[in-house]
Homo-oligomer: A and B are copies of this chain.
């Protein structure tokens, strides 16, 4: 089976996906009988578009050596298309959106569905704010919408909730879904103030220049909303109660440590009720994660308590989820 792909976003994740498609080519052919043909790649400067398929090795080389696809003039035509034009005009089986947050992104997904394409994404806001519309449009067009990479990177919590526990009713999901806050809180455990820990995170590239989306709890709340949508039903983001870690003081950390506790940004998801807030958890609890580890404790009526833990970030890990989704999307047809 020949599967054509339109790849929107050629940053770390987009290039990670391209690298997996390139390096594991024989594996996909052997295991699934699938050959991938990437017919377009877009970064913020340009779109390379060739129905015959783009040489991924060269694309990676150009992007990594020259910084932008617009400098790649010799072999391919350079197009200047908006994302929605890519979704509409580039003929592909699967539209992959691995760009970062853009309030308009749901429109691209909608357009791709209208054109009969599956959509695979790591982009959270469309799921958080337009889940119902997007899921309905995909169902109506008979295509698949997959978004494993939006929560816990390559750790397959979305697929677990969708494909397992079919006879169970989920009671709650409790977990840690943001690594930046874990990093800052762990550094504070070593004696840094919040501001010092944040600066360290920024200098290491763990926190962004504008860190609000992480430290104010929005990123965790986005993920918790997506989990609520999958485990229960769509919930309005306005109903999510969010408290970030920006008000945590060294004395809060010290007090927690005195009782063998640590503070972590915990998301708790129950039907119609999503809360993200810093909470004390025992140092020996499964919730006392470090580094980029994410963890989810899923409680359901029959299976009881199931714990899923793994990396919540990373290029290869996120590419794992995106590529798994591509295969699931086209094998389910």
- Chain A interface residues toward B at CB < 8 A: 20, 24, 27-28, 32, 148, 153-156, 159-160, 163-169, 284, 286, 300, 302-311, 314, 316-317, 319-321, 323-328, 331
Residue contacts A-B, CB under 8 angstroms, 11 given? A32-B166, A154-B168, A159-B163, A163-B328, A166-B325, A166-B331, A302-B320, A302-B323, A303-B316, A303-B321, A304-B310
Q: A148-B164, A159-B160 are in contact. List 4 more A-B contacts (CB 8 A).
A: A154-B302, A167-B327, A303-B311, A303-B320
Contact between B307 and A310, CB atoms less than 8 A apart: yes
**Cross-chain contact of A303 among B154, B169, B307 (Cβ < 8 A):** B154
Contact between A316 and B302, CB atoms less than 8 A apart: yes
Contact between A320 and B156, CB atoms less than 8 A apart: no
How far in angstroms is the closest Cβ of chain B from A191? 23
Q: Which of A153, A305, A306 has the most CB of B within 10 A?
A: A306
Identity of the chain B residue whose Cβ is nearest the Cβ of A302 in the assembled complex: B320
Contact between B324 and A165, CB atoms less than 8 A apart: yes
Tell me what chain A mostly uses at the interface: helix, strand, loop, or mixed.
Answer: mixed
Contact between B156 and A164, CB atoms less than 8 A apart: yes
- How many angstroms from the CA of A24 to the CA of B314 in the assembled complex? 40
**Cross-chain contact of A309 among B307, B321, B323, B328 (Cβ < 8 A):** B307
Contact between A305 and B316, CB atoms less than 8 A apart: no
Please list the 6 inter-chain residue pairs (A to B) with the smallest Cβ-Cβ separation, ordered nearest first.
A167-B323, A154-B303, A156-B164, A302-B320, A166-B327, A166-B324
Contact between A302 and B328, CB atoms less than 8 A apart: no
Residues of B within 8 Å of A303, CB to CB, are: 153-156, 310-311, 316-317, 320-321
Residues of B within 8 Å of A153, CB to CB, are: 303
- How many angstroms from the CA of A304 to the CA of B325 in the assembled complex? 17
Q: Which of A32, A159, A326 has the most CB of B within 10 A?
A: A159
Contact between B306 and A310, CB atoms less than 8 A apart: yes
Contact between B304 and A166, CB atoms less than 8 A apart: no
How far in angstroms is the closest Cβ of chain B from A177? 15
How far in angstroms is the closest Cβ of chain B from A93? 16
Residues of B within 8 Å of A311, CB to CB, are: 303-305
Given the known interface contacts A304-B316, A307-B309, A311-B304, the answer about A324 and B156 at a Cβ–Cβ threshold of 8 Å is: no
Contact between A168 and B306, CB atoms less than 8 A apart: no
Contact between A304 and B324, CB atoms less than 8 A apart: no
Residues of B within 8 Å of A148, CB to CB, are: 164
- How many angstroms from the CA of A276 to the CA of B321 in the assembled complex? 31
- How many angstroms from the CA of A184 to the CA of B153 in the assembled complex? 38
Residues of B within 8 Å of A325, CB to CB, are: 166
Contact between B304 and A307, CB atoms less than 8 A apart: no
